[in-house]
Amino acid sequence: MLAVANHLTYLLLGLGGGAAIAVLALGLVVTHQASGVVNFAHAALGSYAAFAYSSFRQTGRLVLPVFGVPDIDLGGVPTTLTALVLVCAVAGLCGAFLAIVVYRPLRPASPLARLIASLGVLLYLVSVMSLRFGAQGSTSLVIDPVLPTHLVRITDDVVIYADRLWLAGIAIVAGLALSAVARFTRFGIATRAVAENERAAAMLGIRADLIAVGNWVAASVFAALAMILAAPITKLSPIQSSLLVVPAIAAALVTRFRGILSTVLVALAIGMAQSELLNLQVTVDWLPDVGLQQGLPLIVILVALALGAGPTPARGALDTVRLPSPYLPPWAGAVVVAVMGVAAIVTWTGSSEWRSAVIISCIGAIAALSVVIPTGYTGQITLATSAFAGISAFTLVKLAAGWGIGFPWAPILAALVATAGGVVIGLPALRVGGLNLAMATLAASLAVEQLVFGWSWFTGGVEGTLVPPAHLFGIDLDIAALGDDYPRRAFGLMVVTVTAVLLMMAVTFGRSATVRRWLAVRGSERAAAALGISVSRVKLAAFAMSAFVAGLAGALTAYQRQTLSVRSFDSFAAVVAVAIAYLAGIATPLGAMAAGVLASGGVLTLLAGSDASRYQFAVNGVLLVVAAIMLPDGIVGRLTRRPRAHGTRRRGRSRRPSTP
């Protein structure tokens, strides 16, 4: 009985964490139903509101989330209610702004474009919080609790703060209320209609724009309230608070962004499970010390997705939904040869800085190519490329240092191991697609990061691990060299050569019959299947090829960095890689090459100078949003548009819809 009571205690103690996740997950579901966006910036907007509320209650000045706009000064410290109302009003206005200015133009865009836009908003808001309230977060702000904080005795063994119970209750009641609104009100029914089939809803006279604005305002106010109420529990930090969106997405993912109340219950269960796992970790000797609390829920989510979800229904949109054009101009190969030739010359004759920049750009191009293959050619959005790169890099060290396998076999074998991982992580693609697949691959990547990279035998654990240098036919391919000889020219030329070969192979592959079959799957899986194309095989092949290329990028990264640790391949680096690839042009190898130029520390960084502006991250965020709206084909796509044939006219929007 004592053991049972002990487990019950920890499950109940997890209510607070679960409730914080639950209230955020509610808003995520609402915005997704309204406009098909998985809003990565949801918790960030709420966090801004919580910062603004605490600051407002302390100083009497309401900080607005726009640089250059002066604070609103009421001339005194506001009451709790006044502060709540004003901050929520600002949050609601932000929601309306996002709905109208950012996401309305993106309605005909691919889910990937909306994802990129939400990342941009997220970066901007994190920057606002860091610069306006301080990167150290709640250590510099007194958090003013709104909910009662006295202790409540639930059983003889369980005592809990009242605010945890209140928050859990609010989450459940709000879930019930929103479910009722969705089921019984005209607004809710209209929202569901838009979510199910926007085109049909429009024919019934439902204005999707207004519905979206209403839902965005409601979700933003809800995010603000959620974070203000939860801040005394979770504390405030620009980044950590914004990252609460990850478990919230996980909860919504299990219900596939559909069930409101069920999402709340899943979120509460995640919080309670994590609390119990903490208990088990301390009391059960054989359980691993690392990764369990974060990794296990992700595994559960993946299993739930794989077993419980059927194929994702297409969301009928008013306009055609399209991915960036995969058009490859006839001169693409010549451009690759020319650019890589210049890279080789710079590597041989350039200064140390230029050699470093070219090497980083080349590895960035290969990483981007691993995104282009599944996303550009088959429409499968993957956010797991960092996991593949990491698996390959750590395998390389094992092969080279442990088993004495040298270059180039070690990186090739390592990339093949990553390929196997790619097939496994690609399995969800057989059942889900679009944003659900993106989220599933992100969850898988996080699980790999927590459970595989946390395995010290494999990664060297906290000690880190040294990467043995490469040699080929007596040539020293180690990057290390003294003074201006770093990075060694031979290493640079090796990286340039590998990049050039991969890009040329990708250009050739991009014109092959195989890719035409892949593009058929991208255009319409049903039509492709009707033509006798094995959709499953195409998807898995794309994931495998992507993982192999990412694995090569990981191996080269290992050689370039010389040391690796458990933190070397972070899952969010893959999200960043996708964002850069999107900006450059995610559908062709030329886009991948351009993404390499844009990579951090690469050629563009060198040209722009390394002195980062205070507003660099905010500017980056705005640029991502603008790119998502204005450059759906990316920079390269804009430059290499397919010329129209003489004597033809486009009829309306002739492009085929595709819903990755």
Partner 1 sequence: MGRTAFGALASAAVLLAGLAACTEGSAGTDSTVVSTSPPAATEPATTEPATTEPAAETTAPVIDDGSVLAQFAGQQWAFGTVADGATAADTSAEPIVIGMINQENSPVGSFPELRFAVDAAITWINTELGGVNGRPIRLETCITSFSVEQSQACAQELVQQGAVAVISGIDITSTGSLPVLEQNGIPMISAIPTTLAEYRSTNVFSFSGCVTGAYVAFAADAHAKGATSIAFAYGDFESFSVPATEYGARVAESLGMEVTLVPFPITTTDFLPVVQSIIDSGADAVTIGAADTACVPVMTILHDFGYDGLQYLVGACAAEEILKQVPDDIQAGVVFNSEGPPIDDDATPSALDGELFQAVIDRYATGPGGGAGTVSFRAMLNLWSVLTTLDEPTPAGIATAMRATVNAPSFWGHPFTCDTKQVPGFPALCSPQQTLFRLPDDTGTVEGVSDGWIDVPALLADAAG
Nearer to partner 1, 264 or 328 (CB): 264
List the interface residues with partner 1, window 617-636 (CB under 8 A).
617, 620-621, 623-624
All residues at 6 or more sequence positions from 375 whose CB lies less than 8 Å from its CB, including other chains: 112, 323, 381, 382, 578, 581, 586, 587, 660
Residue selected from 23, 25, 99, 126 as contacting partner 1 according to rule CB under 8 A = 126
* Cβ neighbour number for residue 8 with a 10 Å cutoff: 15
Residue selected from 8, 181, 278, 318 as contacting partner 1 according to rule CB under 8 A = 278
Burial code (b: 16+ CB inside 10 Å, e: under 16) for 275-304 equals bbbebeeeeeeeeeebbbbbbbbbebbbeb
x-marked contacts with partner 1 along 347-376 as a string, rule CB under 8 A: -----xx--xx--x----------------
Nearer to partner 1, 610 or 648 (CB): 610
Q: Do 59 and 133 touch, CB atoms closer than 8 A?
A: no
The number of angstroms, rounded, from the C-alpha of 303 to the middle of its chain's C-alpha atoms is 20
Judged by CB under 8 A, the stretch of 408-416, 601-609, 632-640, 648-656 that binds partner 1 is: 601-609
Q: Do 548 and 425 touch, CB atoms closer than 8 A?
A: no
Nearer to partner 1, 509 or 572 (CB): 572
Nearer to partner 1, 474 or 483 (CB): 483
Q: Where are the alpha helices (DSSP H) in 524-610?
A: 525-530, 535-561, 571-584, 589-598, 603-608
All residues at 6 or more sequence positions from 245 whose CB lies less than 8 Å from its CB, including other chains: 24, 28, 39, 40, 41, 42, 43, 44
What phi and psi, each to the nearest 5 degrees, are found at residue 10?
Answer: -70, -35
Q: Do 46 and 26 touch, CB atoms closer than 8 A?
A: no
Residue 611 CB, shortest distance to partner 1, in Å, is 6
List the interface residues with partner 1, window 378-437 (CB under 8 A).
none
Nearest to residue 111, comparing CAs of 355, 476, 574, 437?
437
Nearer to partner 1, 469 or 657 (CB): 469
Interface with partner 1, residue 289, by CB under 8 A: yes
Residue 168 CB, shortest distance to partner 1, in Å, is 11
Q: Which residue has the tokens 């409101």?
A: 260
d(CA 272, CA 14): 4
Nearer to partner 1, 144 or 209 (CB): 144
Q: Where are the alpha helices (DSSP H) in 325-429?
A: 332-349, 352-378, 385-397, 409-426
Interface with partner 1, residue 253, by CB under 8 A: no
Residue 40 CB, shortest distance to partner 1, in Å, is 9
Catalogue the E-assigned strands of 444-568: 465-466, 471-472, 475-476, 563-564
Residue 359 CB, shortest distance to partner 1, in Å, is 10
First to last CA, the chain: 51
Residue selected from 80, 136, 185, 514 as contacting partner 1 according to rule CB under 8 A = 136
Interface with partner 1, residue 483, by CB under 8 A: yes
List the interface residues with partner 1, window 21-80 (CB under 8 A).
21
Residue 600 CB, shortest distance to partner 1, in Å, is 4
Residue selected from 176, 204, 239, 501 as contacting partner 1 according to rule CB under 8 A = 239
x-marked contacts with partner 1 along 485-524 as a string, rule CB under 8 A: -x--------------------------------------
Residue selected from 74, 135, 181, 626 as contacting partner 1 according to rule CB under 8 A = 135
Nearer to partner 1, 140 or 534 (CB): 140
Interface with partner 1, residue 480, by CB under 8 A: yes
Token code pair at residue 67? 């640089």
Burial code (b: 16+ CB inside 10 Å, e: under 16) for 45-71 equals bbbbbbbbbbbbbeebbbbbbeeeeee
Token code pair at residue 196? 């199910």
What is the size of the binding site for partner 1 (CB under 8 A)?
100
Nearer to partner 1, 126 or 336 (CB): 126
Nearer to partner 1, 312 or 456 (CB): 456
Q: Give rounded-to-5 percent helix, strand, coil for the chain.
A: 70, 5, 30
Burial code (b: 16+ CB inside 10 Å, e: under 16) for 610-633 equals eeeeeeebbebbbebbebbbebbb
Residue 370 CB, shortest distance to partner 1, in Å, is 17
d(CA 621, CA 517): 36
Residue selected from 334, 424, 462, 639 as contacting partner 1 according to rule CB under 8 A = 462
Q: Do 228 and 95 touch, CB atoms closer than 8 A?
A: no
Mark residue 498 as left, alpha or beta (left: phi above 0; alpha: psi -120 to 50; beta: remaining): alpha
Interface with partner 1, residue 567, by CB under 8 A: yes
d(CA 121, CA 257): 21
Q: Do 380 and 547 touch, CB atoms closer than 8 A?
A: no
Nearer to partner 1, 156 or 611 (CB): 611
d(CA 328, CA 332): 6
List the interface residues with partner 1, window 137-196 (CB under 8 A).
137-143, 151, 159-161, 164
Residue 203 CB, shortest distance to partner 1, in Å, is 40
Nearer to partner 1, 170 or 515 (CB): 170
Residue selected from 63, 229, 244, 493 as contacting partner 1 according to rule CB under 8 A = 244
Judged by CB under 8 A, the stretch of 91-99, 191-199, 211-219, 267-275 that binds partner 1 is: 267-275
Judged by CB under 8 A, the stretch of 45-53, 178-186, 390-398, 602-610 that binds partner 1 is: 602-610
Interface with partner 1, residue 319, by CB under 8 A: no
Residue selected from 64, 246, 302, 625 as contacting partner 1 according to rule CB under 8 A = 246
Nearer to partner 1, 107 or 488 (CB): 488
Bond prior to 408 in cis (omega within 30° of 0): yes
Residue selected from 424, 563, 639, 653 as contacting partner 1 according to rule CB under 8 A = 563
* Cβ neighbour number for residue 104 with a 10 Å cutoff: 16
Interface with partner 1, residue 274, by CB under 8 A: yes
Nearer to partner 1, 293 or 320 (CB): 293
Residue 397 CB, shortest distance to partner 1, in Å, is 15
List the interface residues with partner 1, window 203-222 (CB under 8 A).
none
Q: Do 156 and 77 touch, CB atoms closer than 8 A?
A: no
Residue selected from 7, 192, 235, 315 as contacting partner 1 according to rule CB under 8 A = 235
Residue 218 CB, shortest distance to partner 1, in Å, is 24
Residue 616 CB, shortest distance to partner 1, in Å, is 6
